[in-house]
Amino acid sequence: MLMLWLIGVPALAAILEYALGRRAPVVTGKIAIVGAACTFGFALDLLRSVLQHGAVSAAANQLRADALSALVASVVSCVGFFAIAYAYPYLGREVREGHLAAEKLPAYYALSLTFVSTMTAVTVTNNIIMMYVLVEATTLASALLVTFYGTPKALEAGYKYLLLCSVGIAIGLLGCVVLYASAVPFVGGIKGMEISEIVRVAHNFPPLTVLVGTLLVIIGFGSKAGFVPFHAWLPDAHSQSPSPVSAMLSGVTLKVALYAIARIATIFYPGHGALGIFCIVLGAVTMLFGIIVAFNQTDLKRMLAYSSVSQIGYILMGLGLANYLGFYGATYHLLNHALDKSMLFLCSGVLLYACGTTNMDELGKRKHSALLAICFFIGALAISGVPPLNGFWSKFAIYTAAAQAHMWWALGVAMFTSMLTLAVLVRAGYTIFLQEPEHGSEDVAHLLDKPEPDAVVDAPYPAGMMAAIAAMCVLIVISGMNLRVLHHAIDQSVQALLHQMAGG
Amino acid sequence: MASSSVMYISLLMIVTSFLMVEWRQLTGAIYTYQAQSVLIALTFALYAHSLHNPALYFWAVTALVSKGILVPWLLRRYVDKVHPVESEPMLNPILSQVIGFTVVTVVFWWVFTNHDRLVVLPSLAGEPYRMNLAVAAAILVIGFYSLLTRRDAFKVAIGLCLLENAIHLSLVSLAPSIPETAMIGVVTDVVISVWLLLYIIANVYRVTGSVDTFNLRNLRG
């Protein structure tokens, strides 16, 4: 029942938002915030109940939630809530300044809520064909959000996003169908779609079918998750969409696609060592390529997007290692990256709001608030894996897992990438927040006494936006503190994956 | 009788795929797409008849409604609004046809002759004409070819439709037991994705005055 609420509430809120928001502009956005908050509440409640009583299913076993589903659903709705709450002041100002027509706002909130609804639906579906349908639905719901500003660049990004993801996921459909068809002889045409049934009979499948089907699934859904070389849409879509949408895209849409891969591919690991190796190699290529390209970016949002590509590689590597610590690191990193990167994208939104640009050199010429700088650095250090922040623990688990599996080259690539990440993000933070503004040949000492008149802090940041960022920052710090409840949730998620591998 | 009609339908499907890619008058390409969708629905009906699987009649109806009526209608609506002639493709027409034809022949021949080895699924062994998979593979390749070599955004959208047709066609061999509800979900996704793509292309045209994807190269690096 809770799972139906989880999908239904944001969908209902989307309809209400669109219907009422057009008539009464006063309620625009408020319904969305309430709806997203309720969804977050339901997701936490689902997580609590799953952790206490084990996996639950509903709607004739079409919906099923174990600890992993509930954890990803909580992350999705958490980031969704913060992104929508943040959008309220952010878009409000764009309307006031005339960059955006007020009539477009209800559509924005309705699409955002639909987006959240489709993503939570992916996490709880137990139907392998519906998994394709819903992952494609997340693309469809977000395509118009990417093109929301309607500028030529935004439209170009939306065009690439929709086209590449549709083609990629169509390949994923072929994989799902192959796996479904191999289950049909054992459990019948209707039951064969249920992932929990496939888990039970997976050991009977012909090996070649499994290999073809799973590789198609990894590549197909991987195009949505941003694996190299299927990542071309990602930096464009992330840099051109409104910042709250970038936060959702990077923070959770990539994770939802990865969740689909974890859900389906891990079933077939036993007896197919090649699949794990494929994931590790793809993960290593993705993380290294992503961070190397991130080095060259001058645009903050593009840099963050490439860094997301790189971090996705860690999660994929953790999944490929297929031991307890690997899965633990992957699940934990999934959660950490969702929080860290969404927060960084929200920071970039504040900078864009205040300075009207996301070019890092331009941003460096202005003064910014100390709170924003602290939040940015905490996010940057967390995602680079600096102890004692959350990213360190998840990456450490993945390193240890690689060492346990005697994958020394993978360990080396992962640690090297981590150092590069630190360099890229700290350099960005330094350029934006700490570097003294350049003043040509003028004497610096002279300027220290008498600050430039135009270097004053810009118009104060809206409290709502800063509150959302600060709250996420607190969550980041807390999630690195080895809390028992967090450990329990991740441990149970890993057990769910190991349970799948063992054949149910 | 059924066997030879499947042969003709398969041949026609490949010919229509070529026409869709090469016909530079977009309205013509859309009509061809419509014709191909009807052929796919016919194939489903033939399979339903020869495999005694009445559920496949339902597939025929879904394919006819979505790809025979809805998608062509959407395509027509947006193409008429913008402009009906494709912008210059990357390759000259003769070279394009030669390359396309060669690639497709090789793929078709390879899948067709290796059909029994490619039968990795028990359900495929029961496929009566041993032809469908090869046709689907050929159409898939033509679809990718169109995505890779065409500059006109509408032609790319038509290429995407072609790709979806190929996958739809392969489903009848791979998994004829997919329930109707799941099939409706898949088809709905396809229709909406084509619609959104067309909507975005129309907006691109409104803002930039062109649907040439060569102009869509501002985002680099």
Please report the DSSP string for A349-396 in residue order: HHHHHHHS--BHHHHHTS---HHHHHHHHHHHHHHHT-TTSHHHHHHH
What is the structure's pLDDT at A456? 42
With an 8 Å Cβ cutoff, are A302 and B221 in contact?
A: yes
- Average the pLDDT over B10-38 and give the result: 89
Specify if A5 maps to a domain: yes
Specify if B76 maps to a domain: yes
3-state secondary structure A159-195: HHHHHHHHHHHHHHHHHHHHHHHHHHHHHCCCHHHEH
Residues of B in contact with A129 (CB under 8 A): 178, 182, 185-186
Q: Are residues A376 and A390 in the same domain?
A: yes
- Average the pLDDT over A401-428 and give the result: 92
CA distance A191 to chain B (A): 10
Kindly state whether B200 is in contact with chain A, defined as any CB-CB distance less than 8 angstroms. yes
Specify if B140 maps to a domain: yes
Q: Are residues A369 and A484 in the same domain?
A: yes
- Average the pLDDT over A478-484 and give the result: 82
With an 8 Å Cβ cutoff, are B120 and A206 in contact?
A: yes
Q: Are residues A151 and A261 in the same domain?
A: yes
Residues of A in contact with B186 (CB under 8 A): 129, 132-133, 173
Q: Which domain holds residue A33?
A: 1-126
Rounding to the nearest 10 degrees, give the CA dihedral for residues B89, B90, B94, B96.
-100
What is the structure's pLDDT at A2? 82
Specify if B115 maps to a domain: yes
- Average the pLDDT over A412-439 and give the result: 86
Residues of A in contact with B172 (CB under 8 A): none
Number of residues assigned to chain A = 504
Contact B89, B217 (CB under 8 A): no
Q: Answer yes or no: is pLDDT of A3 > 90.
A: no
Mean pLDDT of chain A: 87
Q: Are residues A348 and A259 in the same domain?
A: no
Confidence of residue A442 (pLDDT cuts 50, 70, 90): very low
Kindly state whether B69 is in contact with chain A, defined as any CB-CB distance less than 8 angstroms. no
With an 8 Å Cβ cutoff, are B216 and A166 in contact?
A: no
Report the SS3 class of residue A289: helix
With an 8 Å Cβ cutoff, are A177 and B171 in contact?
A: yes
Burial of A314 (0-12, 13-18, 19+ CB in 10 A): buried
Q: Answer yes or no: is pLDDT of A458 > 60.
A: no
Helix-, strand-, coil-residue percentages of chain A, each rounded to 5 = 80, 0, 20
Angle, CA of A468, A125 and A267, to the nearest 5°? 110
With an 8 Å Cβ cutoff, are B175 and A184 in contact?
A: yes
Preferred mutation among A147, A151, A156, A302 to probe B, highest tally of B CBs within 10 A: A156
With an 8 Å Cβ cutoff, are B182 and A129 in contact?
A: yes
What is the structure's pLDDT at A146? 93
**Sign of the torsion formed by the C-alpha atoms of A13, A18, A24 and A29:** positive
Residues of B in contact with A209 (CB under 8 A): 120-121
Burial of A121 (0-12, 13-18, 19+ CB in 10 A): buried
CA distance A295 to chain B (A): 11
Angle, CA of A286, A291 and A292, to the nearest 5°? 100
What is the structure's pLDDT at A258? 93
> Using CA atoms, how far apart are residues B175 and A181, in angstroms rounded to an integer?
5
Specify if A259 maps to a domain: yes
Q: Answer yes or no: is pLDDT of B125 > 70.
A: no
Q: Tokens at residue A152, please?
A: 């030529």
Domain stop point among A268, A284, A311:
A268
**Sign of the torsion formed by the C-alpha atoms of A204, A205, A210 and A211:** positive
Q: Answer yes or no: is pLDDT of A132 > 50.
A: yes
What is the structure's pLDDT at B2? 60
Kindly state whether B114 is in contact with chain A, defined as any CB-CB distance less than 8 angstroms. no
Confidence of residue A437 (pLDDT cuts 50, 70, 90): low
Q: Are residues A486 and A367 in the same domain?
A: yes
Find the DSSP H helices in A229-299: 233-240, 243-248, 254-265, 273-295
Using one digit for the tens of pLDDT, what is the confidence trace for A357-397?
A: 888 888 888 888 888 899 999 999 999 988 888 889 999 99
**A130, A144, A167 ranked by CB distance to B182: nearest:** A130
Q: Are residues A260 and A277 in the same domain?
A: no
Specify if B220 maps to a domain: no
Using one digit for the tens of pLDDT, what is the confidence trace for A236-294?
A: 999 999 999 999 998 889 999 999 999 999 898 888 888 999 999 999 999 999 999 99
Specify if A142 maps to a domain: no
Specify if A135 maps to a domain: no
What is the structure's pLDDT at A386? 87
Specify if B193 maps to a domain: yes
**A132, A147, A236 ranked by CB distance to B200: nearest:** A147
Angle, CA of B211, A107 and A156, to the nearest 5°? 25
Kindly state whether B184 is in contact with chain A, defined as any CB-CB distance less than 8 angstroms. no
Q: Answer yes or no: is pLDDT of A15 > 70.
A: yes
Specify if A16 maps to a domain: yes
Q: Tokens at residue A339, please?
A: 């929080």
Q: Are residues A164 and A71 in the same domain?
A: no
Contact A241, A145 (CB under 8 A): yes
Kindly state whether B127 is in contact with chain A, defined as any CB-CB distance less than 8 angstroms. no
Higher pLDDT, B10 or B116: B10
Tally of structural domains, chain B:
1
What is the structure's pLDDT at A264? 92
Radius of gyration of chain A (CA): 22
What is the structure's pLDDT at B195? 94
Specify if A19 maps to a domain: yes
How many beta carbons lie within 10 A of that of residue B197, not counting itself?
A: 25
Lowest-pLDDT range of A84-88, A332-336, B54-58, B130-134: B130-134
Q: pLDDT above 70 covers what percent of chain A?
A: 95
Residues of B in contact with A236 (CB under 8 A): 219
Query: Cα-flanking dihedrals φ and ψ of residue A148, to 5°?
Result: -60, -40
Specify if A404 maps to a domain: yes
Specify if B57 maps to a domain: yes
- Average the pLDDT over B82-86 and give the result: 73
> Using CA atoms, how far apart are residues B187 and A64, in angstroms rounded to an integer?
24
Q: Which domain holds residue B148?
A: 2-215
Specify if B125 maps to a domain: yes
- Average the pLDDT over A296-314 and give the result: 91
Residues of A in contact with B188 (CB under 8 A): 133
> Using CA atoms, how far apart are residues A234 and A226, in angstroms rounded to an integer?
6
Domain stop point among A75, A91, A126:
A126
Q: For A414-435, b where at least 16 C-beta lie within 10 A, e where not — what string?
A: beebbebbbebbbebbeebbee
Residues of A in contact with B160 (CB under 8 A): 163, 166-167
Q: Are residues A375 and A334 in the same domain?
A: yes
Query: Cα-flanking dihedrals φ and ψ of residue B2, to 5°?
Result: -60, -40
Q: Which helix (H) or strand (E) holds B80?
A: helix B71-81
- Across chain B, the runs of DSSP E, i.e. the strands, are none
Q: Are residues A120 and A178 in the same domain?
A: no
Using one digit for the tens of pLDDT, what is the confidence trace for B153-203?
A: 888 999 999 999 999 888 888 888 888 888 888 999 999 999 999 999 998
Q: Answer yes or no: is pLDDT of B128 > 70.
A: no
Q: Answer yes or no: is pLDDT of A447 > 50.
A: no
Q: Tokens at residue A18, please?
A: 């669109």
> Using CA atoms, how far apart are residues A225 and A237, in angstroms rounded to an integer?
13
With an 8 Å Cβ cutoff, are B193 and A151 in contact?
A: no
Q: Which helix (H) or strand (E) holds A58?
A: strand A56-58
> Using CA atoms, how far apart are residues A319 and A312, in angstroms rounded to an integer?
11
Q: For A258-283, b where at least 16 C-beta lie within 10 A, e where not — what string?
A: bbbbbbbbbbbbeebeebbebbbbbb
With an 8 Å Cβ cutoff, are A152 and B208 in contact?
A: yes
Using one digit for the tens of pLDDT, what is the confidence trace for B62-76?
A: 999 999 999 999 999
Q: Which amino acid is at A334?
A: L
- Average the pLDDT over B74-84 and give the result: 84
Using one digit for the tens of pLDDT, what is the confidence trace for A196-221?
A: 888 888 888 888 888 889 999 999 99
Residues of B in contact with A208 (CB under 8 A): 120
Preferred mutation among B59, B142, B196, B205 to probe A, highest tally of A CBs within 10 A: B196
Q: Answer yes or no: is pLDDT of A490 > 60.
A: yes
What is the structure's pLDDT at A57? 86
**A155, A181, A235 ranked by CB distance to B204: nearest:** A155
> Using CA atoms, how far apart are residues B207 and B202, in angstroms rounded to an integer?
9
Q: Are residues A495 and A372 in the same domain?
A: yes
β-partners of residue A57 are: A64
- Average the pLDDT over A23-42 and give the result: 87
Q: Are residues A276 and A229 in the same domain?
A: no
Contact A6, A120 (CB under 8 A): yes
Confidence of residue B122 (pLDDT cuts 50, 70, 90): low
Report the SS3 class of residue A97: coil
- Average the pLDDT over A313-317 and give the result: 93
Report the SS3 class of residue B212: strand
How many beta carbons lie within 10 A of that of residue A103, not counting itself?
A: 12
Indicate the angle between helix axes B153-174 and B26-51, nearest 10 degrees. Answer: 0
Q: Are residues A312 and A251 in the same domain?
A: no
Specify if B221 maps to a domain: no
Contact A247, A110 (CB under 8 A): no
Confidence of residue A451 (pLDDT cuts 50, 70, 90): very low
Which chain B residue shows the shortest CA-CA distance from A213?
B120
**A193, A235, A240 ranked by CB distance to B182: nearest:** A193
Domain stop point among A214, A243, A268:
A268
Using one digit for the tens of pLDDT, what is the confidence trace for A88-111?
A: 888 888 888 888 888 888 899 999
Residues of A in contact with B175 (CB under 8 A): 177, 180-181, 184
What is the structure's pLDDT at A441? 43
How many beta carbons lie within 10 A of that of residue B50, not counting itself?
A: 14
With an 8 Å Cβ cutoff, are A208 and B120 in contact?
A: yes
Tally of structural domains, chain A:
3
